[in-house]
Amino acid sequence: MRRGTGAYTLNEMHIRGNDVQAPEELAKLANHPRVQVRRNGSPRAGAKCVVYWMQRAMRILDNPALDLAIEVGNLLGLPVAVYFSVIPNYPNANLRHYHFLAQGLREVAEDAAERGVGFIVRRHPDNSLESFLDEVEAALVIGDENPCREPERWRKVMAGRLKLPFWTVDADVVVPSAVFGRSFFLLHHFRPHLKAQLPTYLVEVPKMLPLHPWKPWKPFASFDLAADITAGFTKLDRSVGPVDSFTGGTHAAARQLHAFAAHGLARYEVARNHPEVQGTSRLSPYLHFGNISPLTIALAADEAVRQGKAPASARDKFLDELIGWRELAVLFVRHTPDYDTWECAEPWARKTLVEHAGDERAYRYSLQQMERAETHDELWNAAQLEMVQTGWMHNYMRMYWAKKILEWAPDPARAFEWAVLLNDRYELDGRDPNGYAGVAWAIVGRHDRPWFNRPVFGLVRPMSGASIAKKFDADTYIRQQGRRAGAMPL
């Protein structure tokens, strides 16, 4: 070890065969519960940097994957280069999603320069990760974990193709999923396990600074983020356009969090179930795109309580959603292969839904009618309009929205399929474990208990417009969304 610098050179590491007998500090990093070693082996001899392959955690602040890359770089005496690859066919993504993504990437570029790490963006077809690693002579590559099916497949493919060590980091949950190692049936089953881990993980993490700032030794091509990242993507769905209700990026997320912690958290316990008022944090798009860490949000809620801006009970209810339900959803997706189809149904829900599949339905609508908000139910139509026109739907309405799709679709399998399709198509926070778990809760009983047997729903919990309209000002909510109807892009 180089005394005084805290950095190891590759020549000072002991290599035996094809494995590196790393210094104790480096081995400890690899063994952290947040880290998965996808490919072991020797770092590149004579390497010039460590590469962080950014994908899910699109931020520089409070990013455990980037922090790990910097810490590894410091141990090896190397700078860090952050690499982002823009592909034209991200599953179920459209112009709305890419627009939000591009806004976030511009802020990543600013923050990376300030922190002293490189940031290089490449687009298809010049976006081979393997070629980039050779070009910058990377020692090893660190990436993000993502429990969803397609990103996980990409990581497995890369682990088989790369010639360098490849580690991934569970950067977008407070408690690493590996700590639990399984999913849980109900939230109250999960809470004790989660509570036991929070003292370890719900703590502020010191900012890791690179000892060797990025100073490119030759020009490296990087896409100009002032340009359109979707230019030339001929197969991209452009029918769902950008929205002005949300601006992507860490800075926008921080502003939203600051406003919520200062003014919204205090009334969260009551206001969160009132779709006609902005009583929730509205941070889910930023969490989905990794623009902000759930740890950042949770610590801000703690600070608001310490400053007397909100009661502890409001913080606890908020963290139950932010950490409890959200990380339960991540475990559901990670451990359930068919998380986005009706095949993930609880056995009791499947049995009774099948038994009632032939029940008479008072109303039947096609997918197209639902997409255009052309149902008899003004409250449901308002929720659909909110999603289509703003890219976001209030969580209380999401439950009702999905329940009604089950009631109006030809069968439970298509109800699940249609709910996922619409959610992923229009929501900025779609294509996410939270969305899949929400649909599974509403339609096939996941993370819920059997209710009373009734037509169409079987033992799945029903919801009626008449009952939920008593809990908030439904007329105001309907009028709010109706004012947007003239902009309906269908």
Q: What is the pLDDT of residues 111-126, one digit of tens each?
A: 999 999 999 999 999 9
Predicted TM-score of the model (pTM): 0.94
Is 17 a residue whose pLDDT tops 70? no
What is the domain count for the chain?
Answer: 2
The band of 6, judged by pLDDT with boundaries at 50, 70 and 90, is very low
Is 450 a residue whose pLDDT tops 70? yes
Q: What distance lies between CA 36 and its chain's CA centroid? A: 18
Mean model confidence pLDDT for the chain: 93
DSSP 113-157: HHHT-EEEEEETTS--HHHHHHHTTEEEEEEE---SHHHHHHHHH
* pLDDT value, residue 441: 98
Of 340, 235, 330, the closest CA to residue 288 belongs to 330
* pLDDT value, residue 23: 60
The band of 24, judged by pLDDT with boundaries at 50, 70 and 90, is confident
CATH assignment at residue 365: 1.10.579.10
Of 34, 26, 32, the closest CA to residue 8 belongs to 26
Least confident of 21-35, 189-203, 290-304, 440-454: 21-35
Q: Is position 435 within any domain?
A: yes
Asked if residues 403 and 463 have their Cβ atoms less than 8 Å apart, the reply is yes
DSSP three-state, residue 405: helix
Percentage of the chain lying above the pLDDT 70 cut:
94
Give Cβ neighbours of residue 13 (< 8 Å, ≥ 6 apart): 20, 21, 22, 23, 26, 43
The domain boundary, picked from 115, 146, 172, lies at: 172
**Which amino acid is located at 186 in the chain?**
L
Q: Is position 167 within any domain?
A: yes
Cα distance between residue 401 and residue 420, in whole Å: 12
Give Cβ neighbours of residue 303 (< 8 Å, ≥ 6 apart): 261
* pLDDT value, residue 161: 96
Domain of residue 481, residue span: 342-487
* pLDDT value, residue 9: 37
Q: Is position 51 within any domain?
A: yes
The domain boundary, picked from 172, 197, 226, lies at: 172
CATH assignment at residue 113: 3.40.50.620
The domain boundary, picked from 172, 196, 220, lies at: 172
Q: Is position 376 within any domain?
A: yes
Q: What is the pLDDT of residues 227-278, one digit of tens each?
A: 999 999 999 999 999 999 999 999 999 999 999 999 999 999 999 999 999 8
Cα distance between residue 420 and residue 296, in whole Å: 29
Q: Is position 317 within any domain?
A: no
Query: Which two structure tokens, joined as six digits, stand for 115?
Result: 């922190």
Is 403 a residue whose pLDDT tops 60? yes
DSSP three-state, residue 378: helix
Q: What is the pLDDT of residues 290-306, one digit of tens each?
A: 999 999 999 999 999 99
Q: What is the pLDDT of residues 311-356, one digit of tens each?
A: 999 999 999 999 999 999 999 999 999 999 999 999 999 999 999 9
Is 146 a residue whose pLDDT tops 50? yes
CA-derived radius of gyration, the chain: 24
Q: Report the run of H or E that residue 407 belongs to, with start and end.
A: helix 395-408
Cα distance between residue 409 and residue 18, in whole Å: 57
* pLDDT value, residue 484: 63
Q: Is position 54 within any domain?
A: yes
* pLDDT value, residue 337: 97
Of 75, 35, 19, the closest CA to residue 176 belongs to 35
* pLDDT value, residue 26: 80
Is 87 a residue whose pLDDT tops 80? yes
Q: Is position 82 within any domain?
A: yes
Q: What is the pLDDT of residues 166-218, one digit of tens each?
A: 999 999 999 999 999 999 999 999 999 999 999 999 999 999 899 999 999 99
Q: Is position 254 within any domain?
A: no
How many residues make up the chain in this entry?
490
